[in-house]
Chain A
Amino acid sequence: MQKRHLWIALMLAAGTVPARAETIQVTIDRLVFSPATVEAKVGDTIEWVNKDVFAHTATVKGSWEVMIPPKKSASLTLKTAGPVDYFCRFHPNMKGRLVVVP
């Protein structure tokens, strides 16, 4: 028991405990993603909460797409690091950005 506590304390001190994956919410209200830019880590989940009566998407050209039905939520777990710009395929004037760190 004692030993394990010490081990955990050491890991915390050294910052080697992998941070737990988080769920980060992005709200869609009147065709606006907010926050427009989200910083996240690989393994985190982005949850888009659509308050509009319109269907939207979060789309990355040539990569992934999440459909977000009206008044519903949809999620995506981030698998790769790097910044990505996404947009809504139905309303390309809606834009967002994810900055994903390893």
Chain B
Amino acid sequence: MSIRHTAALAALLLLGTAPFAQAADKPTDPQIAHIAYTAGVIDVEAAKLAIEKSKTKEVVDFAKDMVRDHEAVNVQALDLVKKLKVTPEDNATSQALSKAAAEERAKLAKLDGAAFDKAYVDNEVAYHKQVNGALETLLIPSAQNAELKSLLETGLKIFQGHEQHAEHVAGMLK
């Protein structure tokens, strides 16, 4: 491992973007597309669990917003990869993200009521923060195609908005 890679890895670890740490090597556009899509799918799955389990209106409404926005971003992502004739490529980062998400969902599935609400919303804040960090420091700077970069930039604004929205919901639960 070169010094540069070690530095990039350390920087990512410091940012708390653990699953992204494995992507210290610059990801390619097909890998970036796959990571961004996977990040969206993960949030939709967590939201569907919340819609099913939570009885708190603010939490269910928030979860429905997450489903709506992330599905909309992913439709755009699929349209773009089709247009660019890029095949999203599975990679270590996507796999690490999916694995961490499956663990989190298993944890959430065991909780109920206020404990579930709190754990879900706190995880939403942390998860959006993590994805924002990865978008800003790794995915956007690595993207080669201008349209992909632009979609990721819109995705970043959506994720930043969701992070603030989740913080607001977390504040209401207290």
Q: How large is the interface on B (under 10, 10 to 19, 20 to 34, 35 or more residues)?
A: 10 to 19
Q: Using CB atoms and an 8 Å cutoff, list the residues of chain B in contact with chain A.
A: 65, 68-69, 72, 75-76, 153-154, 157-158, 160-162, 164-165, 168
**Partner among B69, B160, B164, B168 whose Cβ is within 8 Å of the Cβ of A54:** B69
Known A-B contacts A31-B154, A31-B157, A54-B158; A90 and B72 likewise in contact (beta carbons under 8 Å): no
Please name 9 further chain A to chain B contacts, defined as beta carbons within 8 Å, in addition to the given A30-B157, A54-B72, A92-B168, sorted by A numbering: A30-B154, A54-B68, A90-B161, A91-B157, A91-B161, A91-B164, A92-B165, A93-B161, A93-B164
Q: How far apart are A44's CB and chain B's nearest CB, in angstroms?
A: 28
Given A90-B65, A90-B69, do A53 and B75 touch, yes or no (CB 8 Å)? yes
Known: A53-B72, A55-B68. A31 touches B168 (CB 8 A): no
Q: Interface size on A (CB < 8 Å)?
A: 13
Q: Give CA–CA (A74, B157) in the complex, Å.
A: 22
Give the docked Cα–Cα distance between A93 and B165 (Å). 9
Contact of B161 with A92 in the complex, beta carbons under 8 Å: yes
Q: What is the chain A residue whose CB lies nearest that of B151?
A: A30
Which chain A residues lie closer than 8 Å to B76 at the CB level?
A: 53
User: Which one of A31, A70, A89, A92 contacts B158 once the chains associate, using CB atoms below 8 Å?
Assistant: A31
CB distance from A12 to the nearest CB of B (A): 46
Distance between Cα atoms of A72 and B158 in the complex (Å): 18
User: Which chain B residues lie closer than 8 Å to A55 at the CB level?
Assistant: 68
